[in-house]
Homo-oligomer: A and B are copies of this chain.
């Protein structure tokens, strides 16, 4: 059985950083992926102490990115924020800093232009990331987020950017965003050949999906063939934890955290 990492968004409704770690340890889960607001709430030093003292693996810090902006000043502000995110990822010894790259800036309709801003933004943060020993994972987001969250929408598109930026820039593959891609297997194979798979996120796609952002499903409750995708990812050379990331305002965020972790362990053992 592959290792589980808990993305702390999954228990956002129930637990802060410290409570989530305590919950994970109760359930034998020793890998996490926190969000920056959760780190800020407890303080970076304390978060780092908890990680160190409990020998936790941090599979990612969520998130950097959001590069496109209408003005040069706005773009620089985004880069500055990403430099701070690098410091946080370094302090937690995270496998990578995950990027949600951002969508169209302001009232722009220039998608190719936004995409250039993303590549330029990552290039600008890269020297500090390298100096800090932090890998950058571009997370391609589902095309339904192209306008407002991320204009990088397929693994192949992300890998095209990675190729120009070198071996410390890779991809975070989240099944929710990529499961539909007719080119999925070939893209994962390409990522494997490039040695750029830095994270594997799981959840499920519900039918119907009632909210475009916060109605993700528990593994097994939707239509994604999780075992097949995991097999592709392992065949491509990534054997790290499966990171469970579920945004679920109306369901999983309302249940007791321990119940959520029990279900996660059961589902990872049976359907992932």
A residues engaging B (CB < 8 A)? 104, 109-111, 115, 142-144, 146-148, 151-154, 156-157, 179-182, 205, 207-209, 212, 222-225
Evaluate contact between B143 and A110: CB separation under 8 angstroms: no
A143 CA to B155 CA in the complex, in Å? Answer: 14
Q: Closest CB-CB distance, A114 to chain B, in whole Å?
A: 10
A138 CA to B156 CA in the complex, in Å? Answer: 24
Instruction: List the B residue with the shortest CB-CB distance to A148.
Output: B207
Contact pick for A144, options B115, B154, B156, B209, CB 8 Å: B209
A181 CA to B112 CA in the complex, in Å? Answer: 10
A111 CA to B142 CA in the complex, in Å? Answer: 17
* Chain B contacts for A109, CB-based, 8 A: 223-225
Among A109, A152, A156: residue with most chain B CB under 10 A: A109
Evaluate contact between A111 and B209: CB separation under 8 angstroms: no
Evaluate contact between A111 and B148: CB separation under 8 angstroms: no
Q: Closest CB-CB distance, A185 to chain B, in whole Å?
A: 9
Q: Closest CB-CB distance, A55 to chain B, in whole Å?
A: 36
Consensus secondary structure, chain A interface: loop
Q: A143-B144, A143-B180, A144-B209 are in contact. List 16 more A-B contacts (CB 8 A).
A: A104-B223, A109-B223, A109-B224, A109-B225, A110-B225, A111-B180, A115-B182, A142-B144, A143-B181, A144-B212, A146-B180, A148-B207, A151-B180, A152-B182, A153-B181, A209-B212
Q: Closest CB-CB distance, A150 to chain B, in whole Å?
A: 10
* Chain B contacts for A208, CB-based, 8 A: 148, 212
Copies of this chain per assembly: 2
* Chain B contacts for A212, CB-based, 8 A: 144, 208-209, 212
Q: Closest CB-CB distance, A60 to chain B, in whole Å?
A: 24
A61 CA to B155 CA in the complex, in Å? Answer: 35
* Chain B contacts for A151, CB-based, 8 A: 180
Evaluate contact between B182 and A157: CB separation under 8 angstroms: yes
Q: Closest CB-CB distance, A156 to chain B, in whole Å?
A: 8
Evaluate contact between B142 and A154: CB separation under 8 angstroms: no
Evaluate contact between B144 and A144: CB separation under 8 angstroms: yes
A146 CA to B209 CA in the complex, in Å? Answer: 12
A157 CA to B183 CA in the complex, in Å? Answer: 9
* Chain B contacts for A223, CB-based, 8 A: 104, 109, 147
Instruction: List the B residue with the shortest CB-CB distance to A224.
Output: B109
Among A104, A109, A115, A182: residue with most chain B CB under 10 A: A182
